[in-house]
């Protein structure tokens, strides 16, 4: 946590997203404004774009989610897709931290109403962490916590076996890929907790669903999902 908070003291002199010269801030006002314009009318259950005319959400009809509800800043395309990919590259840790703060700023009132008792993040496998040098979702959680005074459990969940990249798989393959891939770290308890789970992207909901299942099985009272971007499955 201390190392993450050191990011509050870092100011490279340029915007981490567009690269334009920016004194006194790591994300320029123009890019901050672009984040604000990404909010969209969404299904309150899975964060997919709301169906026209109040029709039932087709994605909710197709699958069961272990989490109670999901919330996303925007759709995984264009500007937001570029931001997600930049935060995963080597040196993207500061951007990931700032993204967490932006999520906290934009969803502050909504998150405060939910009275969460624990924040946690989707884990990455240790080999991927070693290659990248950091976990973006963990840094996002630390950034979010500066805006939402809730205890964090950044190492609460363990990615216990290697998995294939979900982006390359169909919905059914994604479910098989993550089945049994996660566990609760020994010595950690979540019984009775109101958990907010953070991830960068949700597409089919298979990863978030498996993580939520682990938390619910361990006794969490409810699990909600907050993601930066909502992708839409293609098969």
Measure the CA–CA gap between 235 and 230, rounded to whole angstroms. 15
Tell me the domains of the chain and their CATH numbers.
2-230 (3.40.50.2020)
Classified as helix, coil or strand, 88 is helix
DSSP, residue by residue, 200-218: EEESSSHHHHHHHHHHHHT
Token pair recorded at residue 162: 């290697």
Can you tell me the distance from the alpha carbon of 158 to that of 161, in angstroms, rounded to the nearest whole number? 9
Query: Which one has a higher pLDDT value, 173 or 212?
Result: 212
3-state secondary structure of 90: coil
DSSP letter at 44 equals: T
Residue 225: C-alpha distances to residues 15, 131, 211 (Å): 28, 26, 10
**Entry pTM:** 0.90
Q: Exposed (0-12), middle (13-18) or buried (19+): which is 186, by Cβ within 10 Å? A: exposed
How far from 119 is each of 77, 116, 180, CA to CA, in Å? 26, 7, 22
Is a pLDDT exceeding 50 seen at residue 2? no
User: Is pLDDT above 50 for 50?
Assistant: yes
The three-point CA angle 151-155-161 to 5° equals 150
- pLDDT exceeds 70 at position 8: no
In this prediction, residue 71 carries a pLDDT of 94
Tally Cβ neighbours within 10 Å of residue 134: 20
User: What integer is the mean pLDDT of 180-184?
Assistant: 89
Q: Element (H or E) spanning 29, and its range?
A: helix 29-36
CA atoms within 13 A on the CB side of 152: 21
Residue 233 has pLDDT above 80, yes or no: no
Residue 118 phi, psi (nearest 5): -155, 135
Residue in this structure with the two tokens 């908070």, named with its chain if needed: 5
List, for residues 76-124, the tens digit of each pLDDT value. 999 999 999 999 998 899 999 999 999 999 999 999 999 999 999 999 8
């Amino acid at each position: 946590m201390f190392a993450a908070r050191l990011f509050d003291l870092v100011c490279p002199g340029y915007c981490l997203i567009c690269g334009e010269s920016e004194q006194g801030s790591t994300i320029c006002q123009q890019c901050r404004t672009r984040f604000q314009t990404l909010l969209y009318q969404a299904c309150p259950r899975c964060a997919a774009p709301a169906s026209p005319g109040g029709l039932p959400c087709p994605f909710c009809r197709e699958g069961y989610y272990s989490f109670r509800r999901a919330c996303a800043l925007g759709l995984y395309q264009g500007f937001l897709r570029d931001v997600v990919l930049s935060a995963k590259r080597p040196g993207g840790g500061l951007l990931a931290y700032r993204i967490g703060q932006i999520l906290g700023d934009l969803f502050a009132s909504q998150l405060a109403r939910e009275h969460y008792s624990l924040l946690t993040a989707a884990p990455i496998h240790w080999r991927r962490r070693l290659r990248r040098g950091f976990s973006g979702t963990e840094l996002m959680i630390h950034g979010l916590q500066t805006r939402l005074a809730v205890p964090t459990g950044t190492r609460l969940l363990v990615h216990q076996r290697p998995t294939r990249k979900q982006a390359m798989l169909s919905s059914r393959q994604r479910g098989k890929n993550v089945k049994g891939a996660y566990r609760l770290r020994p010595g950690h308890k979540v019984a009775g907790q109101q958990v907010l789970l953070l991830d960068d992207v949700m597409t089919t909901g298979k990863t978030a669903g498996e993580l939520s299942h682990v938390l619910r099985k361990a006794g969490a009272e409810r699990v909600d999902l907050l993601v930066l971007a909502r992708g839409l499955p293609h098969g």
